[in-house]
Chains A and B, each alone.
Chain A
């Protein structure tokens, strides 16, 4: 049982990193949102598995939040926003796909080296979970800096946040995980509402963040 539970947890956490890579090379917003929904789905499965092997029923709640809110509600809402704004065309990347993937691999290697070295004494499950989680966090950051589009930056932030939830659930017996995942969901909801309410397109005629730079406070 010990062997199996470890393997499954490992598989799910590893898939999360893989899905993060898949996000990196999506150059269409629709596809990107679908992959993000997959990301959240894998996260939900991973958290549910952690809840099962740690015998921590409250984590099922976190898994449920991931499933309902992140895998269904948010992607659907963003889908609608994209259609409303009429921006379901190609998205520009600052860095090409090739360099982005190479950078991503470098980041994953970095997180493995850092986390596996410093957690030598921790139990192997938590240890590898943490290494994967850091990789997901860094890939999310990479996504945020390689995209110009506000929506895809938000997707980058949300996958970063999935990495944090993975880390929090992997840390056995960590209190407040549910509260923190709720707080994060509120944050994300704010961002999504923000895109819509701020109506970036209406104000700026584009959600390309580069266009926002024109309105820097000092260039008037």
Chain B
């Protein structure tokens, strides 16, 4: 019997096999879209019928949000990817063999991310995140240029060290759980761990969390462990940049949040909050300053991702229902906005034939839809009203200001610095003298504007059902 929970795993797995076998990029691109759409629909059905959690898979309010977000952005990205890939084939940057490989890897990545989200076992979750890392490494290096290979290698080594540290942390959590729960599978199952966490050895849990924070924090892209992120974003195919920023960072964050919940249940263990707040603030301010000297458009938005992950980790680190709610909302808005920006950037880079900011200019004149799309995206990501990110950033700031005014001042400083950096570059790209090729783009604008529409509506009106849902999750996070 296949329920929705296994459905989100089976469909990508089957599709990966199918896409690896089928020739012809037009057909496979469509199949890719179809598979991600099906996965998304099944993920949505989790809200209607909640399947039972077993010893390996689980579903609760927290991961439902993540699964639906992941599958939705996965779906829209596959729509964008179809038009992006056909351009890459026409321009000869990718051969049909590579595209076949690319599609199979895309579905494998979706499978690995869904598995990480539904895993009820800390070991299984680790394996899934490792798998997601490997597939993205392969996709980052797909153009096989100097830069792409270097980026893939760097990502590979740093990502491997990160997941190795995370495994050490996972083993320590098992060691802490074993005296209480007993040997065997039970001592790695989330639902069991959570009920018994109060009795775990706090000292072991503390050390475990430090390793987990460093390990999964590398994958979240927290400074100073972020070095792989800009390269991987800049050199891979743009749909992968969108999935990396919009989804994979979230999945690593999800792992971190699960362990944070575990620690919060133990009264004697250290509060994980301050560690996360510190790393979040450092990432935010550091990345904001790094935005100024970017010459490559994709690297710039990669640094912006680090900044926003910093803000999100800060919000979750502060904790409390309100801050968690704000963090969750910010994460959703960031995923939608950032992937939409990468959709625009992908087509812009194809039109201009380069990613260098200096070679682009006057986009709003030459390619009005793309140009204004990018302007809209930057307005959204910089956190200007009335869009969704303004609202979530406002919530982060207002929910934490009363508690830690000094920290929030640093955060707001980081956000403002970042805003300046983004607009400085946007000015060159979107306005002024047109530079570079001005051919009209053969682009699919639907995914991009669909995301913007959601972000725009969310800035003005949040449906009550969504608010209650997020509030439940925020309470769950503690």
Stretch of A31-39, A75-83, A97-105, A111-119 that contacts chain B: A111-119
Please name all residues of chain B whose beta carbon is closer than 8 Å to the beta carbon of A187 when the two chains form the complex: 130, 134, 160
- Judging by beta carbons under 8 Å apart, are A200 and B149 in contact? yes
Please name all residues of chain A whose beta carbon is closer than 8 Å to the beta carbon of B134 when the two chains form the complex: 186-187, 190
User: Closest CB-CB distance, A90 to chain B, in whole Å?
Assistant: 22
- Judging by beta carbons under 8 Å apart, are A122 and B168 in contact? no
- Judging by beta carbons under 8 Å apart, are B175 and A126 in contact? yes
- Judging by beta carbons under 8 Å apart, are B203 and A118 in contact? yes
Please name all residues of chain A whose beta carbon is closer than 8 Å to the beta carbon of B296 when the two chains form the complex: 217-218
User: Among B157, B175, B234, which residue has its beta carbon within 8 angstroms of that of A171?
Assistant: B175
Q: Determine the distance from Cα of A198 to Cα of B143 in the docked complex, in whole angstroms.
A: 11
User: For chain B, which range describes its interface: under 10, 10 to 19, 20 to 34, or 35 or more residues?
Assistant: 35 or more
- Judging by beta carbons under 8 Å apart, are B123 and A137 in contact? no
Most chain A C-beta atoms within 10 Å of own C-beta, residue among B172, B175, B188, B206 = B175
Nearest B residue (CB) for A126: B175
User: Closest CB-CB distance, A61 to chain B, in whole Å?
Assistant: 16
B178: CB under 8 A from chain A? Answer: yes
Q: Determine the distance from Cα of A176 to Cα of B185 in the docked complex, in whole angstroms.
A: 8
B174: CB under 8 A from chain A? Answer: yes
User: Closest CB-CB distance, B25 to chain A, in whole Å?
Assistant: 23
A164-B151 in contact given A173-B183, A176-B188, A187-B130 (Cβ < 8 Å): no
B92: CB under 8 A from chain A? Answer: no
Nearest A residue (CB) for B157: A153
- Judging by beta carbons under 8 Å apart, are B179 and A121 in contact? yes
A217-B161 in contact given A176-B188, A203-B146, A204-B146 (Cβ < 8 Å): no
A64: CB under 8 A from chain B? Answer: no
A191-B156 in contact given A119-B204, A217-B235 (Cβ < 8 Å): yes
User: Closest CB-CB distance, B79 to chain A, in whole Å?
Assistant: 27
User: Closest CB-CB distance, A66 to chain B, in whole Å?
Assistant: 16
Q: Determine the distance from Cα of A141 to Cα of B164 in the docked complex, in whole angstroms.
A: 10
A194: CB under 8 A from chain B? Answer: yes
Q: Determine the distance from Cα of A167 to Cα of B174 in the docked complex, in whole angstroms.
A: 11
Nearest B residue (CB) for A179: B127
- Judging by beta carbons under 8 Å apart, are A164 and B164 in contact? yes
- Judging by beta carbons under 8 Å apart, are A119 and B203 in contact? yes
- Judging by beta carbons under 8 Å apart, are B175 and A119 in contact? yes
Please name all residues of chain B whose beta carbon is closer than 8 Å to the beta carbon of A74 when the two chains form the complex: none
Q: Determine the distance from Cα of A186 to Cα of B133 in the docked complex, in whole angstroms.
A: 13
User: Closest CB-CB distance, B201 to chain A, in whole Å?
Assistant: 6
- Judging by beta carbons under 8 Å apart, are B157 and A157 in contact? yes
- Judging by beta carbons under 8 Å apart, are A141 and B161 in contact? yes
B147: CB under 8 A from chain A? Answer: yes
Nearest A residue (CB) for B189: A175
B231: CB under 8 A from chain A? Answer: yes
Question: 24 A–B contact pairs at CB < 8 A?
Answer: A118-B201, A118-B206, A119-B201, A119-B204, A122-B175, A137-B165, A144-B161, A157-B157, A157-B160, A164-B168, A172-B178, A174-B174, A174-B187, A175-B184, A176-B123, A179-B123, A180-B126, A191-B156, A194-B152, A194-B156, A217-B231, A217-B235, A218-B299, A220-B356
Known: A115-B207, A173-B178. 12 other contacts (CB 8 A): A118-B201, A121-B179, A122-B204, A144-B161, A153-B157, A160-B164, A161-B164, A172-B183, A176-B121, A180-B126, A187-B130, A215-B146
A residues near B (Cβ < 8 Å) are 114-115, 117-122, 126, 130, 133-134, 137, 141, 144, 150, 153, 157, 160-161, 164, 167-168, 171-176, 179-180, 183, 186-187, 190-191, 194, 198, 200, 203-204, 212, 215-218, 220
4 closest A-B pairs by CB = A173-B183, A118-B203, A176-B123, A215-B146
